[in-house]
Every structure is written in structure tokens, then in C-alpha cells.
Amino acid sequence: MAKLDLFNPSEEHLALREMVRAFAEKEVWPQAREYDRAEKFNSALFRRLGDLGLLGITVPEKWGGAGMDAVAAAIVHEELAAVDPGLALSYLAHSMLFVNNFMVNADDRLRDRVLPHVVSGKWIAGMAMSEASAGTDALAMKTTATRRGDDYVLTGTKMWITNGAISDTELGDCFLVYARTGGGRGKALSSFLVEKGMPGFRLGQRIKDKLGMRASPTAELVFDECVVPATNRIGEEGESSLHMMRNLQIERLTLAAMAMGIARKCLEIMNQYATERQAFGQPIRNFGQIQRYIGDSYAEWMAGRAYVYATAAAMADLHGAGHRLDSDGVKLYCTTMAKNVADRAIQVLGGFGYVGEYHVERLWRDAKLLEIGGGTLEAHQKNIAGDLRRTLVFR
């Protein structure tokens, strides 16, 4: 299949890609359209990712993980998103937003108790940061955590939470929740492990009728004087804005990798269709406009692919500083690129592209979320311009 190169830099990476691609094509692709249409989360299939050792892809082996790197994380997200971006998004929320963040910032006592459950897939997890009035401006969140003896009391509401509900009535199993423990911004934020069944923690509305990512559950979470033991605090009080910002780097890389999977599948579908579809007595790939759609899409996909894996290779420290410029840049470029490639695929397929049979309309809908979730295009542009303010020459 593939060979050792920028995209598969070691035998281990190549074996991982081949394994995930085979699983995705055999087990994930056949169910994708059905679960998208029903707006249902395939929890049984999600737990199969635990059986394959993928839910703890960046977790050290001592806690049951695969102990792999950012390149491996990119590979898994690319391969899953090529067949079912909705399932891939839930995988990202679990493995990157919760598991990777928790593994880096929790103490060994919490790691020993929680990681075996989330790495195996017994527990389905997520991260709760966004609120109805605090998305890109995350430091404006209003959810509070007040210390009362040996507990914290959380009060507030989180919105747009991936894996917030695994059914219309059932919460996910555990969440890394950001809340305000002090006044002002910045150092005022702390994070907590909140588990299903804790007093005052309940499911709000299950958010349906989304444009895309319909197979990935999104929900509102309500904390009505939710009592959380102080031992469930992640790290020290007031330091979690740093946790949040650093974990955004691996999140944005893997969202860009998802975009690469979407673009690849759309390119494959339009390329095949252009060969098979006849018009005016010849394959439509013989016409210049179709050639432009295919040629531009391939070149943009390859450019994004190189950017994704070069950025991933530079992330030796999965939670360290120094990667914001290119984690923003790669997501800024690749997410819009994937949407544009999906749009061209629909155009090449014409009426067949507009209906579900060929999947490109689903991939187009799913791609749009990537320009919003995990940081908007506008946020990336702001960050990049700010990070480059002292850079006058590019080498």
C-alpha cells in the first residue's frame, strides 16, 4: 500500500495506518450514512476503537495506551475521517480533548483510576469548555467552581459539548470541565474531572438538526450546584488556562488531519466518477473544467497533507509550548481546503453529488464544522498575525 515517507515515517506508523484503514473501510464506512441520517451515535463501534488500542494513542503504555506520537494521532484521525467524520470527531473529543489533556495534567492517583476506563472504551469521555456566550473567547466563561471544604460546587452551563450525550437521555461517562475559580481572566480558570452520577450534574438539551457531524452527539451540560470532590481537580487551582491553550495545539493538528481524510475521500470519488461518467461520447474527465476541479483538488490536498505531517513531526512534546503558529496555520488551510474539495466533488458528480448515494454531500456538510470547531478561521488568522508580528523575513 503505502511506503515509508513523510506521511508514514516509521514501520510502526505504516502498520498503524494500514490497520486503521482496513478497519475503517470494513466496519466504519458501511454504517456511516445510516447513523448520519438517524443522528445517532454508534457507541458499540466507538468502543471497538478501544479494542484496537486507539483510544489512548498518546497515553504511555504503563496506563494501557499505545505510547505513540502526534504523527500517529494524525494518521488515525485522517483514516477515520475519510469514511465517517462524525465518528472521527467523537474520537477526537475523547482521545485528544479528554484523554491526552487528562494524561498530561492529572496526577498519578487520578491517572491510575481513570485512564484504564477511558483507554479501553468502557467510559466515553469529552471536554466541556464552550458556553453559549463563550466560544472563541473561552476566558469569558461564566461557569464557576466554589470551594466548600473538601469539595467544589460547580454552577453553570456548557454548550456544544461533543460526546455530551451518547443517546437522547444518557450522559457521557466523564468530562474534563473548565470553570472559573477566581476573578478576572487568565489564571482564574481551573479544571475538574466530572463524572456521570455526581449530584447536580445533568444533561440539558441534546442538540440535533445540525448541518453536519450528525453521527457525533452534541449536547448541553448543566451544573446545578454540582458537587465535585476537590481530589477531582486537575492540577493546581487557577492554572488550567495554560492546560487549555496547550492542548489546543494537538486538537487543531488532528482537526486538520480530519480535513485531510475528507478531502482524500472526495478526491477519490470525483476522480473515479469522472472516468466512468460519459457525456457527449467521452468520459467527462476529458473536459477542461473537470480537469481543473480534479487537478486543483489534488494539488491542494497534497499541500495540506505535507503541512499536516510536517507539523505533526515537529510536535515531539505533545503538550509543550511553541507549536501554536503552525497548529493554527495547518487548521486554517486544511479545513477550508477540505470544504472546497468536497464542493468540487459535488459539482463533478452533478445531481448525484447532491444526494446521499455517493457520500460527498455528507462529507461537504461535515467539513464545514472544521472551520468553526476547535477555533474559528478568524481566530486562527488573528493568532497567526499576532505570532508573526516580529517576523519580517521567512526562511
pLDDT tens digits for range 259-301: 999 999 999 999 999 999 999 999 999 999 999 999 999 999 9
What is the amino acid identity at position 227?
A: V
Taking 90 as the threshold, does the pLDDT of residue 3 lie above it? no
d(CA 155, CA 175) in angstroms, rounded, equals 15
Taking 70 as the threshold, does the pLDDT of residue 187 lie above it? no
Helix (H) or strand (E) holding 151: strand 151-162
Check residue 185 and give its pLDDT: 62
Q: State the pLDDT confidence band at 395, using cuts at 50, 70 and 90.
A: confident
Check residue 184 and give its pLDDT: 66
- Which of 183-197, 200-214, 251-265, 268-282 has the weakest average pLDDT? 183-197
Taking 80 as the threshold, does the pLDDT of residue 254 lie above it? yes
Taking only the tens place, the pLDDT of each residue in 378-388 is: 999 999 999 99
d(CA 304, CA 392) in angstroms, rounded, equals 24
If you write DSSP's letter for every residue of 339-375 in order, what string do you get? HHHHHHHHHHHTHHHHSGGGSHHHHHHHHHHTTTTTS
- In angstroms, what is the C-alpha Rg of the chain? 21
State the chain's maximal CA–CA distance in angstroms. 80
Q: State the pLDDT confidence band at 326, using cuts at 50, 70 and 90.
A: very high
For residues 316 and 294, which has the higher predicted lDDT (pLDDT)? 294
| CATH class of the structural domain 126-238 | mainly beta
Answer whether 329's CB lies under 8 Å from 392's CB: no
Share of the chain above pLDDT 90, in %: 90
What is the mean predicted confidence (pLDDT) over 204-219?
97
Taking only the tens place, the pLDDT of each residue in 118-130 is: 999 999 999 999 9
Taking 70 as the threshold, does the pLDDT of residue 2 lie above it? no
- Return the C-alpha cell found at 152: 467544589
Taking only the tens place, the pLDDT of each residue in 46-57 is: 999 999 999 999
251 catalytic residue (yes or no)? yes
Taking only the tens place, the pLDDT of each residue in 243-252 is: 999 999 999 9
Check residue 91 and give its pLDDT: 98
What is the mean predicted confidence (pLDDT) over 94-103?
97
Q: What are the sequence ranges of the domains in the chain? A: 11-124, 126-238, 241-387
Check residue 199 and give its pLDDT: 97
What is the mean predicted confidence (pLDDT) over 80-92?
98
Check residue 321 and give its pLDDT: 65
Q: What fold is seen in the domain 11-124?
A: Butyryl-Coa Dehydrogenase, subunit A; domain 1 (1.10.540)
Check residue 43 and give its pLDDT: 97
Check residue 10 and give its pLDDT: 96
- Return the C-alpha cell found at 53: 488500542
Q: What fold is seen in the domain 241-387?
A: Butyryl-CoA Dehydrogenase, subunit A; domain 3 (1.20.140)
Same fold, 11-124 and 241-387: no
Q: Among the options 79, 195, 220, 251, which is catalytic?
A: 251
Q: State the pLDDT confidence band at 1, using cuts at 50, 70 and 90.
A: low
Backbone dihedral angles phi then psi of residue 71, each to the nearest 5 degrees: -65, -45
What is the mean predicted confidence (pLDDT) over 90-113?
97
Answer whether 179's CB lies under 8 Å from 189's CB: yes
